[in-house]
Amino acid sequence: MGLELYLDLLSQPCRAVYIFAKKNDIPFELRTVELLKGQHHSDAFAQVNPLRKVPALKDGDFTLAESVAILLYLSRKYKAPDHWYPQDLQARARVDEYLAWQHTALRSSCTRAMWQKVAPETLASTLAELDWCLQLLEDKFLKDEDFLAGPHISMADLVAITELMHPVSAGCQVFESRPKLAAWRQRVEAAVGKDLFQEAHEVVMKAKDLPPADTAMKEKLKPLIQVLLH
């Protein structure tokens, strides 16, 4: 059995892994795990990933969880072009720095803002935090470069763009209000390829127009928010 990737493209980390594998012509069998149906809690999936989260990788008898670990494994095994995870010590450190920062900063803010879009009592403060994260993304990571870690696209850009191509980002007009990020997005999309970019984000962007919800709707939407936390 060859490489298997267990994914649901509603999940931001899954989209990053999917784009990376497809862009680099890595052969894999897609094993769809439907989070909204609770398939990640099944006993069968637990044999692949006891953490019961996606993405997950199975390569023969070897299994691996956590999206960053999966991205690094794929880049090393399949010898992806150097720009994705550079050999140069300091260039690689810049990619590592973003990957370490984003999980508890930009991604966390996007996810909480998504929930508060349908339950808007504290939305203003969360959007302020998201705005602060976006400013750091521009000033600390992007600076005056074409991409987050230098002149070429890397894993940092792939993780970041899948975070920002999030239903809440569309609602908050992240790219419309930040021309520097909008230009960066266009460069990332061009580097990935427009068709692959749209394919990976098609499902999640259908959720961008969620209205403020009443109590009953909030309960119905909880599974969706849990999906976006993965």
On whether both 139 and 28 belong to a single domain, the answer is no
Question: By percentage, how much of the chain surpasses pLDDT 90?
Answer: 64
- In this predicted model, what pLDDT tens digit does every residue of 46-60 receive, in sequence order? 999 999 999 999 999
Task: Write down the pTM of the prediction.
Answer: 0.85
HSE value, Cβ hemisphere, 13 Å, CA-based, for 222: 6
121 with 68, same domain: the answer is no
Q: Given the DSSP bridges, would you call strands 29-32 and 3-7 parallel, antiparallel or unpaired?
A: parallel
Given pLDDT bands bounded at 50, 70 and 90, which one contains residue 222? low
pLDDT tens-digit readout, 130-174: 888 899 999 999 999 999 999 999 999 999 999 888 655 544 568
Question: Residues 58, 95: one domain?
Answer: no
**Main-chain dihedrals φ then ψ at residue 155, nearest 5 degrees:** -60, -30
Among 54, 83, 112, the domain-final residue is: 83
Are residues 92 and 197 both part of a single domain? Answer: yes
CATH of the domain at 149: 1.20.1050.10
The count of domains in the chain is: 2
Same domain, 129 and 160: yes
Whether the CB-CB separation of 9 and 199 falls below 8 Å is answered with no
Neighbours of 133 (CB within 10 A): 18
> Of 52, 83, 114, which residue sits at a domain end?
83
Domain span at residue 7? 3-83
Instruction: Determine the average pLDDT of the residues in 25-47.
Output: 95
Residue 203 tokens read as 């499902």
